[in-house]
Amino acid sequence: MRGSGASQRTLERVFRAETGMSLGGWRQQLRLGRALEKLAAGESVTAVAIDSGYASASAFVVAFRAAFGRTPGRYFH
């Protein structure tokens, strides 16, 4: 951000205008997308949750369900 000459708030506004989502929302979507790949490859929910930066498996499951409408276990069945 320093090199761009724009403030963090300005960059966040531009990002939202261009993508329709907040930077934090985009980051979470990216993390959950990568988590889907790992779960599909057979990794455990707990390992994926911790690797994705969530404090616990339950916090990951809550975020996953909010994004995809079902828990990781039901998503793949």
Model-wide pTM > 0.75: yes
Give CA–CA dist 23/38, Å, rounded. Answer: 23
- In the chain, the number of structural domains is 1
**C-alpha dihedral sign at 3, 5, 11, 15:** negative
User: Domain of 41?
Assistant: 2-75
**Alpha helix stretches (DSSP H) within the chain:** 8-19, 23-40, 45-51, 57-68, 72-75
pLDDT per residue as tens digits for the range 43-74: 999 999 999 999 999 999 999 999 999 999 99
- Domain CATH code at residue 57: 1.10.10.60
Query: Which residues lie below 8 Å from residue 8, measured CB to CB, with a gap of 6+?
Result: 1
pLDDT at 4: 76
